[in-house]
Amino acid sequence: MNRVIDFSRYQTEPTEPVDQRDFLDGLNVRSAYQPIFSPTHQKLVGFEALVRVDDGTRPISPVALFERAQTTRQTVQLDSFLLHRHVDNFTGREKPVWLFLNINPETCTHPMSSLDRLVDQCNECGISPEKLVLELVETASDNTDALIQFVNMAKDRGFRIAIDDFGTGDSNFERLWRIDPTIVKIDRSLLVNAEHHHRARQLLESLVRMIRESGSLVLLEGIENDAQARIALDTEADLLQGFLFGKPGIVDDTVIATQEAGLSAMIDQTRRNLLQESSDHSSFLRLLRFEILEACHRLARGETFANACNAVFEMGGVKRCFMLDANGIQQGNLAFAGRDRAPQRFNPLYRSAGACWSHREYFLNALERPQSINCSRPYVGLPDATRTVTLTTCLTSGSSRQVFCVDIHPDELFGGQLCFPATL
C-alpha cells in the first residue's frame, strides 16, 4: 500500500467542499495494477489497484494527492472516485483473480452508502463483489466498533476483507480476530528486518504461523530481491507481492505468463537450495549425534568430564556441557567450550553446581526417552541469556542413572535456519 492515513485525522465537519472537478483539473489520473501471486499454485491470483498521477510535467505521489484532498476536505470524494475508477479500468474482471482496493479510513464514516455505491459499480462493470478485496489499515481507527460495523456490512455484501500493514503501530491480535479478515498483509518493514537479523526472521516466521493458525491467509508484500523472496517462501506465506515478481502496470496476458514463469523458476531454485541445505543439516546432525555418543562412551570408561567433552566442543555452536543426576540436580559446574571458557562479564548463573533442573523439558525428555538423544525446543539459556537448544541423553551404570546435557546456540548454525528434530 502506498499510503497510510490515520482515521483520527479525518473528522466529518459541515464545510462546503470544493468541486471535485476543480480539484482534479489538470491532473492525469491512472490506475496501475500490481500482481499478487500464490507460490503454492505458482500463478497469479490477484492485483492491487494503485493510483498514478501526474500534472503533465512531473509525477505526483499518492501521499501528496491525498494531502491535497485533505486541505479541501475532499478525502472521501477522492477515495470514492478512485475506487470506482479502479473497478471501471480493471480489464482482468473475467480472470479468476481478486482485485485489491485500498479503502480510505474516512470512507467508513458512511459505510452503507459507500458500500452500496461500490456494489452498483460492480454490477455495472460485470464483476462480482466476491472478487473485490477491501484493504483496511487495522491500526488506523480509535473506534473499533465502527470499524467492525463497516467490516460486517462489507462482508454481507460479498466483499472480502484484508488487513494492511499488520505488524506495525498498534496492531493487535484481539482486533484482528474480531475483524476476521480473509487476508492479512504483513508490513514490509518486518521482511526487511528479517533479511538482516536472525531474531527478526524468527519473529516473522512466528507471526505468519500465528495468523495462518487463526484462520486468515498471509500476504508478504514489498519483496524486492532474491534474499527477501527466499525468506518469504521459507515462512510459508500464502501470497507474495513485490517489484521482484511484478511492478504495477496494465493487466496483460503476455506479461502475466512471463511473471508466472519467473516465479516458477525461483521456486524450483529454492527447492534445489533447500535440498542441498537439508543434506548439509543432516550431515551436521549425524556428526553431532556421533560425538555425543562418543562422549558418553568416554564417560563410561572413566575419563574426566572435561576430556570426554573435548570432541563435542569442536562442533559448531556447542557452548556448554553438564551432568544431572536422576533427580535433575546438576553435578559440578558447567564445562565450557575452549572459546567460551572465560565469560566477559560477571554472571552468578555460570556457577550452577547443585542447581535443580528437574522441571526443564530437556531433563524430562531424557527420562521419557532414555535410549535417544533428545532435542529441546529453543529457549533462553540462563548462563548467557541467549537462544539455546539443549540435547540430552541418559547414562546408566548399574542402578544409577545420570543425564548428559549439551547446550547449543542454534543461531550460530546455518544462519539460524537449522531445525532440530525431537530426537537425533
**pTM of structure:** 0.74
Tell me what pLDDT residue 1 has: 40
Return mean pLDDT, the chain: 85
Residues 393 and 366: beta-carbon distance below 8 Å = yes
Tell me what pLDDT residue 158 has: 94
Residues 389 and 284: beta-carbon distance below 8 Å = no
Which grid coordinates belong to 220? 508478504
Q: What is the pLDDT of residues 358-394, one digit of tens each?
A: 999 999 999 999 999 999 999 998 878 889 999 999 9
The number of beta carbons lying within 10 Å of the beta carbon of residue 140 is 22
Tell me what pLDDT residue 194 has: 93
Which residue ranges form the domains of the chain, and what is each CATH number? 7-251 (3.20.20.450), 284-416 (3.30.450.20)
pLDDT tens, the chain, 424 aa long:
433 333 233 333 434 444 555 667 778 889 999 999 999 999 999 999 999 988 888 988 888 888 887 777 777 788 888 888 899 999 998 999 999 999 876 666 556 677 888 898 899 888 999 999 999 876 656 677 778 888 999 999 999 999 998 887 666 788 888 889 999 999 999 999 999 888 899 889 999 999 999 899 999 999 999 999 999 999 999 999 999 999 999 999 999 999 999 999 988 888 888 778 888 889 999 999 999 999 999 998 889 998 999 999 999 899 999 999 999 999 988 888 875 554 556 566 667 788 899 999 999 999 999 999 999 999 998 878 889 999 999 998 777 899 999 999 998 888 888 889 999 9
The number of beta carbons lying within 10 Å of the beta carbon of residue 378 is 18
Angle (CA) 62 63 66, round 5°: 85
Give the helix ranges, DSSP H, for 157-187. 173-179
Which grid coordinates belong to 157? 455484501
Q: Among 272, 224, 266, 271, which residue's Cα sits nearest to residue 34?
A: 224
Q: Among 190, 188, 184, 142, which residue's Cα sits nearest to residue 163?
A: 184
Residues 62 and 2: beta-carbon distance below 8 Å = yes
Measured distance CA(239)–CA(249) in Å, rounded? 19
